[in-house]
Amino acid sequence: MSDFTPPVSDFRFLIHDVIGLGTVANLPAFSEISSDLVDAILEEAGKFASSVLAPINRIGDQEGARLLENGTVQTATGWKEAYAQFCEGGWQGISAPEAEGGMGLPILLGAAVAEMWQASNMAFALCPMLTAGAIEALTAHGSDDQRALYLSRMISGEWTGTMNLTEPQAGSDLSKVRSQAIPQDDGSYAITGQKIFITYGDHEMTENIVHLVLARTPDAPAGVKGISLFIVPKYLVSDNGEIGARNDVTCVSLEHKLGIHASPTAVLSFGDQGGATGYLVGEEGKGLAYMFTMMNNARLAVGQQGVAISERAFQQALDYAHTRKQGRDPQTGDEAPIIVHGDVQRMLMRMRSSTDAARVLSIYAACQLDLAHHLSDETARANAQARADLLIPLVKGWSTDLGVDNASLGVQVHGGMGFIEETGAAQHLRDARIAPIYEGTNGIQALDFIGRKVLRDNATTLKALLADIRETMRNSANTPVGLDHAVSQLEETTGIVINRCSKDDRMMQTLATPYLRQGALCISGWLMLRALDALDTSDASASFKEAKRRSCHFFFGQLLPEASFMATQIINSDMIELHDTQPLF
Amino acid sequence: MSDFTPPVSDFRFLIHDVIGLGTVANLPAFSEISSDLVDAILEEAGKFASSVLAPINRIGDQEGARLLENGTVQTATGWKEAYAQFCEGGWQGISAPEAEGGMGLPILLGAAVAEMWQASNMAFALCPMLTAGAIEALTAHGSDDQRALYLSRMISGEWTGTMNLTEPQAGSDLSKVRSQAIPQDDGSYAITGQKIFITYGDHEMTENIVHLVLARTPDAPAGVKGISLFIVPKYLVSDNGEIGARNDVTCVSLEHKLGIHASPTAVLSFGDQGGATGYLVGEEGKGLAYMFTMMNNARLAVGQQGVAISERAFQQALDYAHTRKQGRDPQTGDEAPIIVHGDVQRMLMRMRSSTDAARVLSIYAACQLDLAHHLSDETARANAQARADLLIPLVKGWSTDLGVDNASLGVQVHGGMGFIEETGAAQHLRDARIAPIYEGTNGIQALDFIGRKVLRDNATTLKALLADIRETMRNSANTPVGLDHAVSQLEETTGIVINRCSKDDRMMQTLATPYLRQGALCISGWLMLRALDALDTSDASASFKEAKRRSCHFFFGQLLPEASFMATQIINSDMIELHDTQPLF
């Protein structure tokens, strides 16, 4: 497997030149952030990704995580040591509040750093990703005591966190959660039930694991309003944080998965001995609402996995295309590496350009989250939040689909060698395939986008963004092929979506997926124009700027036109029969 | 893993109603073919696929083929028995000449049958696929003695065949083949060299294996004209066919692959003990030309793997969508299987409709090969051959890309369960991924299409086909959305292709891939219109006809518009910079 080169220059360009560091540095919360600090963090994180995480990615795939006969989960060679180094660097707390022991840095920067971890070793990076979600949930909803006891140890990485939502009958539909939480005299709850697909649900890298578990209290109403959130530590903890007895939660099995082999995906059984001790977070019945508060960050993070695996697959394919000799240079007639062939260049450009577009979308969305949290003006905060809410299903849905496509293209560039596991290209495809599924399938992202984010406010947030796109185009010295048309078409299909869905709400399901993709392409096109504009004043190297210029133009001419294909699907959707009865295939 | 239901009704419909059995039955070579015979063969082949091959597909994936310490290759449990049954059925010789012991049936019918084998068990079906290629090569170019000795035993399936082309430095570029063939006094040749990626390069299912090997004679010119074709049997054979001593060819290793685990992909070493005994096929220096004579059938067969894996993935996803309950029926509010959700229906319709379109394209192309071989009029034969030549890169390139996309969609329909290997959906994705690579990468298919099939005859063959499309549309009572536009656009881009490539022949590489996909979509659209037209008079069941009607209209409204996206890529290609120097990424 090829080395991983952290795309630090790309992040520097995006943060300094495209977004503008001032966008976050001008916020009171981040007044101490300097350009140098940003660069230093990107450099250090990149170094950690390339020198510690990337080298164990392949061995993690080969060995996987294993459930031993004694019931413990053994991570792959090097995992425990890498995790210890990760904690030493303080990386877990990069975007956590300083008051809780974190670095208190913008999500913008945390996102850049996280993408590098995902690219270097997706199976490893899932562990901090899940802990970050648990940190966010407890920061927002945990009691003072809970935060004092659990949060600081999770921010330091001393303990990891998990999310226990899914049950066999409750996947996308969490209203079906059946796990039980029975109140005990001491104020705790006895938790019973089985949870599946629990990422890093068990391991021995840390001395404790903090499970966040959705369960129902005895008198809870049916449906999602009866679900509460509980802390269930793997080992019970004394008030001063000392590890006590094993809690009544066991890892029953690990899944045998297509990819991310080194990430232990556990079936956890709670309460086989009568009940695991759990502690209610916040109020009863609000479990799902609490989960929603951390959903944006989690979905952003998964979307970034799509960008990350695209980047990694691209680097590996590019490396191979430079070294593999086959055929002749069309100019000189000499034996040549396959990168001289136009069709290979097309594949590499598809990967490069779509990765750049998905990256700028994710980084822009991350910045909107910072603004939503920290702008002083309430309306401005609300607007930033609405824009982040609009964009995040696009980041998650589109980028993770791209991750699969790009990893598949990466295999293709390798020819026959791509199909051989030793090459490493196939691992990226196997790893990438989970991202369109978890943290809300991409079908659910599309429904979220069309329903909650566009129809619910009658496209107000979307229209404000489209107005910004038009303004950027007016002010730009560049003329991006097709962007104007793409914006007009998105306006047109938005009208169709509003019109048709108001007549038949089943239409939303029919239109959602092409509408998400059209939206993502169009809005990314805007950000690629902003990137193109920013090249003029960037202090990046000439070769970097030339490469990005080509990437932007390739996007406009070759990738953005897919938005028009999606628009046609939407326009033609009135021909799709809504099946009152069982559909016929 | 779900059962496999052979799509016999689909093949009956395509052969009887869309193509018309008369198209082949009126050929003198096939005068004895009746409707009943066709149906009986489809039924029997379907039964064999579903009851013998499908049940061992998963175990083949799990066990794989293994190289034992004694140097023999052990196939997965059930393989040897299934292969014996395959031979008993006489299936290997279905399209081989009766004079050589085959059934002498049309390629049209052979293709239908082969698709079912590939769908039921792609790793198994590769073995007869490769043997069929060897049969075709020896039928066309072997001497009487060679045919008497090897061919009949390969047609019966008693011995299998392999194709030894690739070497580490010679993949897509066979001019780099280095293996040596030194003439011996007895008329044989001593073969030395290493071949890689040899499908079923070794196994113990049969008592002998007939390797067809490309190698160079000592005084051969450099490049492809110095390559000759040799028979190198695993065991030497006496003149009366008795098995003799082991030849000097050994299986050095088996590749550890992403998919098709049960298909042994061998590294073969020839001549470690001084030289393997090989027998020249035809004349020296014509090895590559001989390979080309069987290329159409081989590429058709690989293209069909894409259709096959799409069909299998669809069936499994449909089955899951009917049984997995999640969410509620939008009409009744009751708990419901996920197939009620419009977005799931969209995924399934994408799979169903694209599979139908790719299938009719492959079956039509197969029929053109029959016409090219057996029409009485020489010009008509040449026209059919030209049309087959035009279509086959589309079948191979487009269908195998679809195979990956559809297998990936199949995983997606399964949600989290799709990522778990036990489900079986992921195997289809892993298996499907090889088909865009081998038998000429899809990039090579695209270059073949644009260069040899369109530019070389100044689009004469393509234009004749487009005229047929227009005629079908004039005569059809149906109005397929967008087909007229798609044909016009293909005419437009064909003009652009001719124009731009005449000015700069590097443009061919830049335009090839979108042009292939545009062509495949447009021509499949024509055949879907012919299918729609044929529904009126078909004796298929009402539910079959309704399902196909929906599939055709989904293709026109939702999938065919991608052709316009591809056209835009081609039109915008003048913005892509042709890189005189090392490209910048």
Look up the CATH number of the domain holding residue B119. 1.10.540.10
Residue B493: both structure tokens together: 């881009």
Q: How far apart are CA A95 and CA A155, in angstroms?
A: 10
How far is CA B261 from each of CA A371, B124, B199, B408, B447, rounded to the nearest angstrom? 51, 10, 11, 18, 30
Q: How confident is the model at residue A505 (pLDDT cuts 50, 70, 90)?
A: confident
Per-residue model confidence (pLDDT) at position B261: 98
Same domain, A25 and A110: yes
Strand A209-216 to A160-164 pairing = parallel
Q: Tell me the pLDDT tens digit for each residue of A537-582.
A: 999 999 999 999 999 999 999 999 999 999 999 999 887 765 555 5
Q: Do B347 and A583 touch (CB under 8 A)?
A: no
Residues of A noted as catalytic: 439
Contacts for B242-248: CB closer than 8 Å, 24+ residues apart:
B243/B207, B243/B208, B247/B276, B247/B277, B248/B191, B248/B272, B248/B273, B248/B274, B248/B275, B248/B276, B248/B277
Same domain, A434 and A503: no
Same domain, B342 and B242: no
Type of residue at A343: D
Mean pLDDT of chain A: 96
The verdict on residue A585 lying in a domain is no
Per-residue model confidence (pLDDT) at position B579: 55
CA A47-A53-A55 angle, to 5 degrees, is: 100
The proportion of chain A whose per-residue pLDDT surpasses 70, expressed as a percent, equals: 99
Radius of gyration of chain B from its Cα atoms, rounded to whole angstroms: 24
Look up the CATH number of the domain holding residue B211. 2.40.110.20
Per-residue model confidence (pLDDT) at position A345: 94
Same domain, B494 and B396: no
Mutation pick from B165, B166, B258 vs chain A, by most beta carbons of A within 10 Å, is B258
Q: Tell me the pLDDT tens digit for each residue of A515-525.
A: 999 999 999 99
Q: Tell me the pLDDT tens digit for each residue of A400-412.
A: 999 999 999 999 9
Per-residue model confidence (pLDDT) at position B585: 84
Mean pLDDT of A25-37: 96
Same domain, A338 and A415: yes
Same domain, B99 and B221: no
A16 touches chain B (CB under 8 A): no
Closest residue, chain B, to A431 (C-alpha): B419
The verdict on residue A1 lying in a domain is no
Q: Is the pLDDT of residue A461 over 90?
A: yes
Q: With the CA atoms of B114, B117, B119 and B120 taken in that order, what torsion angle do they form, in degrees rounded to the nearest 10?
A: 170
Q: Tell me the pLDDT tens digit for each residue of B64-92.
A: 999 999 999 999 999 999 999 999 999 99
Farthest-apart Cα atoms in chain A, separation: 84
- A-proximal residues of B, 369-428, CB under 8 Å: 404, 408, 411-412, 415-416, 418-422, 426
Per-residue model confidence (pLDDT) at position B404: 98
Q: Can you name the residues that pair with A243 across neighbouring β-strands?
A: A237
Type of residue at B425: A
CB B72 within 8 A of CB B204: yes
Ranges of H-type helices in B414-506:
425-432, 442-447, 460-475, 483-503
Q: Is the pLDDT of residue B581 over 70?
A: no
Strand B160-164 to B209-216 pairing = parallel
- In chain B, what is the straight-line distance between the N-terminal and C-terminal CA atoms, in Å? 42
Mean pLDDT of A430-449: 98
Closest residue, chain B, to A447 (C-alpha): B343
Look up the CATH number of the domain holding residue A339. 1.20.140.10
Q: Do B342 and A430 touch (CB under 8 A)?
A: no
How far is CA B94 from each of CA A167, B135, B454, B551, rounded to the nearest angstrom? 50, 11, 32, 31
Per-residue model confidence (pLDDT) at position B30: 96
Closest residue, chain A, to B580 (C-alpha): A331
Q: Do A257 and B420 touch (CB under 8 A)?
A: yes
Domain end call among A113, A133, A155: A155
Q: Is the pLDDT of residue B173 over 80?
A: yes
Please compute, for residue A53, the number of CA atoms within 13 A of its CA located in the half-sphere on the CB side: 31
Same domain, A306 and A396: yes
Q: Is the pLDDT of residue A2 over 90?
A: no
Mean pLDDT of A201-221: 97
Mutation pick from A164, A503, A585 vs chain B, by most beta carbons of B within 10 Å, is A585
* Residues of chain A positioned with their CB less than 8 A from the CB of B579: 345
What are the residues whose beta carbons fall under 8 Å from the beta carbon of A13, sequence distance 6 or more?
A: A531, A534, A538, A540, A544, A548
Per-residue model confidence (pLDDT) at position B582: 57
* Residues of chain A positioned with their CB less than 8 A from the CB of B509: 330, 341-343, 345-346
Give me the number of domains chain B comprises.
4
Q: With the CA atoms of A80, A84, A89 and A94 taken in that order, what torsion angle do they form, in degrees rounded to the nearest 10?
A: 70
Q: Do A572 and B562 touch (CB under 8 A)?
A: no
Q: How confident is the model at residue B35 (pLDDT cuts 50, 70, 90)?
A: very high
Q: Do A172 and B326 touch (CB under 8 A)?
A: yes
What are the residues whose beta carbons fall under 8 Å from the beta carbon of A464, sequence distance 6 or more?
A: A383, A387
CB atoms within 10 A of CB B207: 11
What ipTM was estimated for this complex? 0.98
Q: How far apart are CA B306 and CA B376, in angstroms?
A: 33
Mean pLDDT of A331-343: 91
The verdict on residue B434 lying in a domain is yes
DSSP B531-581: HHHHHTT--S-HHHHHHHHHHHHHIIIIITTHHHHHHHHHHGGGGSPP-SS
The verdict on residue A69 lying in a domain is yes
Residue B107: both structure tokens together: 């390629």
- B-proximal residues of A, 266-325, CB under 8 Å: 314, 318, 325
A-B CB pairs within 8 A amount to 233
Same domain, B429 and B335: yes
CB atoms within 10 A of CB A425: 28
Q: Do A348 and B585 touch (CB under 8 A)?
A: yes
What are the residues whose beta carbons fall under 8 Å from the beta carbon of A98, sequence distance 6 or more?
A: A104
Same domain, A448 and A562: yes
CA B205-B208-B211 angle, to 5 degrees, is: 110
- B-proximal residues of A, 335-374, CB under 8 Å: 339, 341-349, 352
Q: Tell me the pLDDT tens digit for each residue of A379-424.
A: 999 999 999 999 999 999 999 999 999 999 999 999 999 999 999 9
Per-residue model confidence (pLDDT) at position A293: 83
Strand B276-281 to B189-199 pairing = antiparallel
Compute the nearest-CA separation of A216 from chain B (Å): 19
Q: How confident is the model at residue B580 (pLDDT cuts 50, 70, 90)?
A: low
Cα torsion angle, A358, A360, A363, A369, sign: negative
* Residues of chain B positioned with their CB less than 8 A from the CB of A349: 576, 585
Same domain, B377 and B268: no
Q: Do B197 and A415 touch (CB under 8 A)?
A: no
Q: Is the pLDDT of residue B2 over 80?
A: no
Compute the nearest-CA separation of A569 from chain B (Å): 5
The verdict on residue B585 lying in a domain is no
Q: Which of B447, B575, B580 sits opposite A343 (nearest CB)?
A: B447
What are the residues whose beta carbons fall under 8 Å from the beta carbon of B232, sequence distance 6 or more?
A: B164, B191, B210, B211, B212, B213, B247, B249, B270, B276, B277, B278, B279
Q: Tell me the pLDDT tens digit for each residue of A91-130.
A: 999 999 999 999 999 999 999 999 999 999 999 999 999 9
B467 touches chain A (CB under 8 A): no
Ranges of H-type helices in B254-377:
287-293, 295-323, 342-374
The proportion of chain A whose per-residue pLDDT surpasses 90, expressed as a percent, equals: 95
Q: Do A416 and B347 touch (CB under 8 A)?
A: no
Same domain, A425 and A453: no
Per-residue model confidence (pLDDT) at position B382: 98
Per-residue model confidence (pLDDT) at position A582: 58
Same domain, B74 and B43: yes
Mean pLDDT of B491-515: 94
Per-residue model confidence (pLDDT) at position A581: 53
The verdict on residue A190 lying in a domain is yes
Compute the nearest-CA separation of A409 from chain B (Å): 10
Compute the nearest-CA separation of B440 from chain A (Å): 9
Compute the nearest-CA separation of B412 from chain A (Å): 7
The verdict on residue B175 lying in a domain is yes
Per-residue model confidence (pLDDT) at position B332: 87
Closest residue, chain A, to B582 (C-alpha): A340
Q: Tell me the pLDDT tens digit for each residue of A484-501.
A: 999 999 999 999 999 999
Type of residue at B458: N
Mean pLDDT of B445-457: 98
Tell me which residue has tokens 């997965």.
B76
Of residues B294 and A251, more confidently modeled: A251
Mean pLDDT of chain B: 96
SS3 call for A281: strand
B218 touches chain A (CB under 8 A): no
Q: How far apart are CA B176 and CA B166, in angstroms?
A: 9
SS3 call for A236: strand
Of B81, B311, B439, B471, the catalytic one is B439
The verdict on residue A582 lying in a domain is no
Closest residue, chain B, to A556 (C-alpha): B572
Q: Do A173 and B569 touch (CB under 8 A)?
A: no
Please compute, for residue B497, the number of CA atoms within 13 A of its CA located in the half-sphere on the CB side: 36
Mean pLDDT of B92-104: 94
Compute the nearest-CA separation of B476 from chain A (Å): 19
Q: Which of B349, B416, B508 sits opposite A438 (nearest CB)?
A: B416
Domain end call among A234, A252, A285: A285
Q: Is the pLDDT of residue B273 over 70?
A: yes
DSSP A259-276: S-TTS-EEEEEE-TTS-E
Domain end call among B263, B285, B307: B285
Could you tell me the residue range of the domain that residue A97 belongs to?
Answer: 8-155
